[in-house]
Copies of this chain bind each other. A is one copy, B any other.
Amino acid sequence: MSSKEKRNKLVIVCSKGSLDMAYPPLMLATTGAAMGMEVHLYFTFWGINMISKKTVGSLKISPVGNSALPMPNILGMLPGMTSMLTSMMQKKMDKIKMPTIPEMIKTAKESGVKFHACSPTLDMMGLKRDDLIPEVDDIIGAATYLDLASEDAITLFI
């Protein structure tokens, strides 16, 4: 490969189940797909929340444990603060016309992004294929993920 030849593959591990860390992989995935890249998302650990029917529409932001937030932990831990902060962020997202997570997943899927669920995580969480959103293509293990990543892909762990 000459140094000017571009890589055309993007393989992202999605390991977080919070609203703020669900946006970056989906924004990169939809952008990559629009640029003609082959894009794979591998959902593992908390990232399963992004593709579980029960949670995909209600991802939240934590008001504690994130020192980037201006809110003191002693306020953040109060009941109702998680919902309030999540709703505030969702409003900001709406304002800049950013789609919701379920909408981004739909767009990603339509653009050809592949959705892979991590097999041992599903076992650990006691989840089955039916508990996952229909956009999921397959259930794979770490070996298949590494095989995808080894094909000269841009790799990220989010």
> Beyond A1-B152, A143-B31, A152-B3, is A61–B67 a contact (Cβ under 8 Å)?
yes
Q: A49-B68, A67-B82, A72-B82 are in contact. Are A151 and B3 (CB under 8 A)?
A: yes
B8, B76, B142: which contacts A73 (Cβ < 8 A)? Answer: B76
Q: Contacting A67 at CB < 8 Å: which of B17, B74, B120, B150?
A: B17
Tell which of B6, B60, B82, B146 touches A31, judged by Cβ atoms closer than 8 Å: B146
Given contacts A31-B142, A73-B77, A151-B3, contact A65 B68 (CB under 8 A): no
Distance (whole angstroms) from the CB of A118 to the closest CB of chain B: 9
Residues in B with CB closer than 8 Å to A21 are 15, 45
**Residues of chain A at interface, number, CB under 8 A:** 77
| Interface presence of A139 (CB below 8 A) | no
Complex Cα distance A5/B77, Å?
51
**Contact residues, A10-28 vs B (CB, 8 A):** 10, 13, 15-21, 23-24, 27-28
Q: In this assembly, does A84 line the interface, its C-beta being within 8 Å of a C-beta of chain B?
A: no
- Please determine whether A154 and B155 come into contact, CB atoms closer than 8 angstroms: yes
